[in-house]
Chains A and B, each alone.
Chain A
């Protein structure tokens, strides 16, 4: 087993789930309103979605927008921190790789 979302029925905080659906590289992934894109991916048992310079898989590390490991493309926007961006129903998410990408994607914008 792996990452997952606490089931709403047994969650002590008493939450109301409103479902949403995003696509990741064309595949539909279900989540709930309020989750970050990283949260949706983790709860769907996806631990990694980005590839580093060597091709090594990466997912969430710091979880609070500091490490930039979890970057994804949302619609036309590259380099969005998945751990901080709330997922919106219909978001079209594309995974990224830094392999063979020189200079590093996005760095010219920073």
Chain B
């Protein structure tokens, strides 16, 4: 029994596994999630009020998940803080090693009178997940253009389908479950378009096939979705994507085009398809503001930036562990293995325990799977050929491609910071969560100056620095926070 206090942020596959392992190692656990139910995006549960008799029909691995969530949430040493957002991680003394202080708000989403609490854990596990990355294209800001994740969340989480004639497009295996969800809910899926060519996908996946066998659970799941699409006669095409959405006030049609391996559109291959919704994903962006606020080092991989972890899922900050999609996009089985390792070790469990061996193996297989995924479904460099001068790049501020080009190619505004102030790209309510990686990529390409020295008197610009990680109202900020110290911490919120 270790009696350490471990705070786990995120109750998806990784966070739930972390909480369970930390409890097994004897720790006291506070499990925090912004949602009112555990599961994260992968196991997004129906609302309790739906009183669903057969929730399992919408889930892969429902029974194991259901057992685990009951086991974890009913343990006396586990405090389950649902409807709780972490709005800041504070390092009162950056020189002092150890996890940061955790500031949370509990109450209705974006509500005005939420309870403000702080936690000072012995160890912190960050398992906050990822969201869709969507590249801009003309018309992507029209109502009726959804991220694939939105369509999935609405269908799975509240039984709302986004349309009746839907095209699902982008890249990655996530296209399949999204199309399957739409079909299950009664939509007509006109086609599923994988932007990468058959050659890119085949080369990426089939290199070292034995690694794939290790992820048999994942490939079996994907095979089921593929079979469903065949049953519904949904055409799945590779090397084609949506390059434009059109309509008067809402999407009415999309233009698709054949793509070369670098994602340049083949002239003359355009087709127009009448739709009432289109669902798009070009991979996932890990939610990095909390790891960055905690001071965790990041690593850059072909798939983007992720939290750097060692063989024990420990980040560069002592006492801070990380698991799931923020360490690499590898799917739920890998997230569960990483979470269990992180939770056990964060709780001070024996690193030589024999139960860790299969977890480490699962984690390593997950990392190999992630590398293959990134190779099979890269973003082609020529995607920006779809853009027109008037194409919106930053949805919040409606900054267009022409303004970005102007700012990036003028020497006085070529630095990312100045370009941002001039175009306002990335300064809107979403705080660059959607356009950030795109603007950084375009700016680098257009100005030809990737590395930028910090301006005098200012910290170096870090794209994921959002000191206020979630919106907090002034009234809430002004209210005193309740310290949730040992013993006085509310069991469940």
Interface pair B47/A109, CB less than 8 Å apart: no
Interface pair A79/B110, CB less than 8 Å apart: yes
Interface pair B110/A80, CB less than 8 Å apart: yes
Cβ of A78 to closest chain B Cβ, rounded Å: 9
Q: Which of A10, A58, A60 is most buried by chain B, counting CB atoms within 10 A of its CB? A: A60
Interface pair A107/B398, CB less than 8 Å apart: no
B50 — nearest CB in chain A belongs to which residue? A15
Which residue of B58, B160, B250 contacts A42 across the interface (Cβ within 8 Å)?
B160
Cβ of B209 to closest chain A Cβ, rounded Å: 34
Against B, the Cβ 8 Å flags (1 = close, 0 = not) of A44-79 are: 000110001110111111111111110100001101
Which residue of A15, A57, A58, A64 contacts B150 across the interface (Cβ within 8 Å)?
A64
Interface pair B159/A13, CB less than 8 Å apart: yes
> Does B429 interact with chain A (Cβ within 8 Å)?
yes
> On chain A, which size bracket covers the interface?
35 or more
> Does A21 interact with chain B (Cβ within 8 Å)?
no
Interface pair A56/B141, CB less than 8 Å apart: yes
Chain B positions within 8 Å of A, measured between CB atoms, are 34, 36, 41, 46-55, 57-58, 108-112, 131-132, 141, 143-147, 149-154, 158-165, 184-186, 249-250, 276-277, 287, 395-398, 428-431, 433-434, 468, 471-474
Q: Which residues of B contact A35 (CB under 8 A)?
A: 47, 158, 160
Given contacts A34-B49, A83-B150, contact A110 B468 (CB under 8 A): yes
Q: Which residues of A contact B433 (CB under 8 A)?
A: 66-67
Q: Which residues of A contact B153 (CB under 8 A)?
A: 63-64, 83
A to B contact number (C-beta, < 8 Å):
188
Interface pair A68/B158, CB less than 8 Å apart: no
Interface pair A34/B110, CB less than 8 Å apart: no
Inter-chain pairs besides A47-B144, A81-B110, 11 sampled, C-beta below 8 Å: A1-B165, A2-B276, A5-B158, A10-B186, A11-B159, A12-B57, A15-B53, A39-B160, A52-B396, A58-B143, A110-B472
Q: Which residues of A contact B428 (CB under 8 A)?
A: 68, 104, 107
A72 — nearest CB in chain B belongs to which residue? B110
A108 — nearest CB in chain B belongs to which residue? B474
Given contacts A6-B185, A79-B471, contact A48 B250 (CB under 8 A): yes
Given contacts A56-B141, A63-B150, A86-B47, contact A12 B112 (CB under 8 A): no
Q: Which residues of B contact A28 (CB under 8 A)?
A: none
Q: Which residues of B contact A81 (CB under 8 A)?
A: 109-110
Which residue of B50, B152, B186 contacts A13 across the interface (Cβ within 8 Å)?
B50
Against B, the Cβ 8 Å flags (1 = close, 0 = not) of A68-110 are: 1101000011011101111000000000000000001011011
A10 to B159 CA separation, bound complex (whole angstroms): 11
Q: Could you tell me the dominant secondary structure of chain B's interface residues? A: loop
Interface pair A52/B398, CB less than 8 Å apart: yes
Q: Which of B41, B54, B151, B395 is most buried by chain A, counting CB atoms within 10 A of its CB? A: B395
Which residue of B112, B162, B184, B474 contacts A3 across the interface (Cβ within 8 Å)?
B162
A77 to B395 CA separation, bound complex (whole angstroms): 23
Interface pair A67/B160, CB less than 8 Å apart: no
A12 to B189 CA separation, bound complex (whole angstroms): 19
Residue pairs across A and B with Cβ atoms less than 8 A apart, 19 shown, are: A3-B160, A13-B53, A14-B53, A16-B50, A33-B49, A34-B48, A34-B49, A39-B154, A53-B398, A59-B144, A60-B146, A61-B145, A62-B147, A62-B150, A66-B433, A84-B110, A86-B109, A104-B396, A110-B429
Interface pair B34/A65, CB less than 8 Å apart: yes
A54 to B395 CA separation, bound complex (whole angstroms): 11
Which residue of B58, B131, B144, B397 contacts A64 across the interface (Cβ within 8 Å)?
B131
Which residue of B132, B152, B154, B397 contacts A53 across the interface (Cβ within 8 Å)?
B397
Interface pair B434/A62, CB less than 8 Å apart: yes
Which residue of A64, A71, A86 contacts B429 across the interface (Cβ within 8 Å)?
A71
Cβ of A85 to closest chain B Cβ, rounded Å: 4
Interface pair A61/B52, CB less than 8 Å apart: no
A1 to B161 CA separation, bound complex (whole angstroms): 11
Given contacts A15-B52, A85-B108, contact A34 B46 (CB under 8 A): yes
Cβ of B156 to closest chain A Cβ, rounded Å: 10
A66 to B55 CA separation, bound complex (whole angstroms): 26
Interface pair B51/A15, CB less than 8 Å apart: yes
A30 to B131 CA separation, bound complex (whole angstroms): 30
Interface pair B398/A54, CB less than 8 Å apart: yes
Cβ of A7 to closest chain B Cβ, rounded Å: 9
Q: Which residues of B contact A79 (CB under 8 A)?
A: 110, 429, 471
Interface pair A4/B161, CB less than 8 Å apart: yes
A107 to B149 CA separation, bound complex (whole angstroms): 26
Q: Which residues of B contact A69 (CB under 8 A)?
A: 395, 430
A104 to B149 CA separation, bound complex (whole angstroms): 27
Interface pair B147/A65, CB less than 8 Å apart: no
Cβ of A38 to closest chain B Cβ, rounded Å: 8
B429 — nearest CB in chain A belongs to which residue? A68
Cβ of A47 to closest chain B Cβ, rounded Å: 4
